Homo-oligomer: A and B are copies of this chain.
Amino acid sequence: MSDSDHGRRTIRDVAKAAGVSISTASNALNGTGRTNAETREKVKRIADELGFRPNALARGLLMKRSHAIGMLTNDTYGRLTLPMAAGVSEILVDHGVSLFLCATNNDPRLAKLHLDALLDRQVDGIIFTATRIDLEPPPELLKLRVPVIYAFAQGPADSVSFHPDDAQGARVAVQHLQSIGRTRIVHITGEENYLAARIRAHAYEDLVGPSGQVMFGEWSEEWGHSAIDEIYSQSGPKPDAIFCGSDEIARGVIDALRDRGISIPDDVAVVGFDNWEVVSKQTRPPLTTIDMQLKEIGHRAGLAILGLSRQEKLEPGIVRLPCSIFKRNSA
């Protein structure tokens, strides 16, 4: 109806319609300053009727808090990133904070471009995620004036990181196998140069003692398959349980065992790692596996960056969040 019919209504419109000044309108809506209860209600009602919503750009410009954070990831495929991003976003949306997603594709030029764009947008913080916990972040991240949190990635000494508790996850897996009476447990896992693989292997060794056997290889189904071939081509006692470093490896293991007519879980129990449903639900039998609770990592990282952006102090270091076991039928 009025001249400002297109576009959004501004606080001016509210103030004019309520017959008060802009400052009074602002105070009434935000509960700041001194306002008569009656006018406060009136302003609120009119703002509601007009469908007024404050312009986040103007607000951010003034308050020097944009209520937006950025997430930098090198994972294009999304297996790890999206659950975490969803967790972050889920937590933050209730606090009125939005999430910029930046896929760097492992390209330093792109990373720099994204980082600059985030800073130009005055983000309140940045979450850096990677596809492995021991990947170095881009050096530009180190000396920023905005807080940075590392999720599923390694930060510098004085930073805050959130990782899955790989050691605890491995222990849960092994202890479950022991609790169902298994004594000859073999660990088939991925590349030894992955920190996560080494941590899990150590935790496994601590529990099974010197009788244990760790087989490093690749993060692939094929490796699970050929690892079984290797075990059964040798003489000596055979395992009664296998703890795998990933669901994909577990799938290869299960297929290889079935090919040999070995019954799962009766003859050999199998536990995986990831709870990546497209794999773990589809093995025969369905896979008992360790869930890294990626969404929860996202939650915690989101809360942490929220705290930091409010100047709260956070204890630096690596926070390891517990994994949980998801029992299906393979163990």
Q: Are A103 and B89 in contact, CB atoms less than 8 angstroms apart?
A: yes
- Nearest B residue to A78, CB-CB: B82
Interface residues of A in 226-280 (CB under 8 A from B): 248, 251-252, 276-279
Residues of B within 8 A of A57 (CB): 57, 60-61, 66, 121-122
Q: Are A93 and B78 in contact, CB atoms less than 8 angstroms apart?
A: no
Q: Are B114 and A222 in contact, CB atoms less than 8 angstroms apart?
A: no
Known contacts A78-B78, A103-B85; A117 and B90 CB within 8 A of each other: no
**A79 interface hit (Cβ, 8 Å):** yes
Residues of B within 8 A of A105 (CB): 86, 90
Contact indicator per residue, chain A 119-163, by CB within 8 Å of chain B (1) or not (0): 111100000000000000000000001000000000000000000
Chain B proximity of A90: nearest CB distance (Å): 7
Q: Are A78 and B79 in contact, CB atoms less than 8 angstroms apart?
A: yes
Query: Which single member of B114, B119, B222 contacts A282 (CB below 8 Å)?
Result: B222
**A314 interface hit (Cβ, 8 Å):** no
User: Interface size on A (CB < 8 Å)?
Assistant: 59
Residues of B within 8 A of A220 (CB): 282
Q: Tell me, in angstroms, the Cα distance from A93 to B94 when the chains sit together.
A: 27
Q: Tell me, in angstroms, the Cα distance from A251 to B122 when the chains sit together.
A: 47
Residues of B within 8 A of A222 (CB): 282
Stretch from A28-36, A39-47, A48-56, A174-182 that touches the partner: A48-56
Residues of B within 8 A of A85 (CB): 78, 101, 103
Q: Are A103 and B122 in contact, CB atoms less than 8 angstroms apart?
A: no
Q: Are B120 and A53 in contact, CB atoms less than 8 angstroms apart?
A: yes
Q: Tell me, in angstroms, the Cα distance from A279 to B53 when the chains sit together.
A: 46
**A304 interface hit (Cβ, 8 Å):** no
Query: Which single member of B71, B93, B122 contacts A56 (CB below 8 Å)?
Result: B122
Residues of B within 8 A of A121 (CB): 56-57, 68, 98
Q: Are B68 and A93 in contact, CB atoms less than 8 angstroms apart?
A: no
**A76 interface hit (Cβ, 8 Å):** yes
Known contacts A105-B86, A110-B93; A56 and B6 CB within 8 A of each other: no
Q: Are A117 and B96 in contact, CB atoms less than 8 angstroms apart?
A: yes
- Nearest B residue to A251, CB-CB: B282
**A287 interface hit (Cβ, 8 Å):** no
- Nearest B residue to A76, CB-CB: B86
6 additional A-B pairs beyond A58-B61, A96-B117, A98-B102, beta carbons within 8 Å, are A54-B120, A57-B57, A79-B278, A100-B100, A100-B101, A276-B278
